[in-house]
Structure 1
Amino acid sequence: MDFFKANLYTYRVFDKVKCKYTSSYSNELSINECWSDKFDIFTGRELFVHVGLKPFCKYYSNPQKATETIVNFLNEKLRPVSFMSQSFTPAFRKSGVYSIEHSKAEIGLFAEQFRVVSQFRTSDPIHNVSYTTQRKDKFDNIDYHDTFGEAGFYSSLYDRDAVIVNLLTGRFVSTYLHFLEEKYKVPYK
């Protein structure tokens, strides 16, 4: 399936689930309530996941338990080759300090919780990604100095036919869009 169609399809399905189960984001929600057998087309693929954790935290009592449950559930259902999430650290711009092991992800609660349990993290001090994988070699020839460049991490997502999943984010969120903006020289203000 074409990368963009698959991701658009994923977004549309999750968006319908979101509207159905969380018309108000104050509701609590279990991951089982978000599942559809339609997602089986993504079995065995690489997943790049963005999660709005708030409704899950209310259901599972805390962010750690919610993250663990979501990751375990998606791993069980889809058996991804790789499971990835952004773990950006924009504070590096001011501090100049970045540690792959110790710098906390600063954008999104799920990102930080996933960073703690993931196997690996990329070396880009600002736009880094945390991931677990069965195929570490798929990450070896990536230019981590230019995450959004032609040989960078997000370009490799396209090459590897990864699926971008937005789970209860409230809107379409995709770090991959930054790669497309750079690639096609999208002008800003």
Structure 2
Amino acid sequence: ATALRYAAGNGHEAVVEVLLAAGCSVDLPTNDGVTPLMGAAVSNHAGTVRLLLEAGADKDAQNADGTTALRCAAYKGNEAIVEMLLAVGCSVDLPANDGVTPLMCAAQSNHAGIVKLLLEAGAEKDAQDLDGWTALQYAARNGHEAVVEVLLAAGCSVDLPTNDGETPLMRAALSNHAGTV
């Protein structure tokens, strides 16, 4: 990892500013493709994310697994970082190698506010990962009622099956989430 990646991932804004001013590459990744922006996003350092975006960081860079900074922020539940990334026009639906989108990450992690932000930004509400799972499937499986409500209000399909033939309703019932059913 680079000095900038460490500083960004630890939220050391002053160090990030010095390193950027000294000409450090804003997007130089680690061996597994993690950029300073991803490190700052996954560690919930909004100030550092802002500095890196202002310095021209690649907002849609993907690591070896296909993860982006937006997916990191959606998973971690950081609305401020999600809003910053959306404001600079990052790709709202860019999936990782497993087909999981930022919306799916937010849904499975029970972040209803981020689900709403992503839907408002045009996220594909019925996108499916490689196993056929949708954001609604993930939320139903985990019993995340508030997320399910947001997704249903957005018109997500309740009948779209996974590759195994399970619908969101079946998944909620199989997971014993009566409130979600």
Give the TM-score normalised by structure 2: 0.34
**Whose RCO is larger (CA < 8 A, sep 6+)?**
1
Higher share of residues assigned strand: 1
Larger Cα-atom Rg = 2
Give the TM-score normalised by structure 1: 0.33
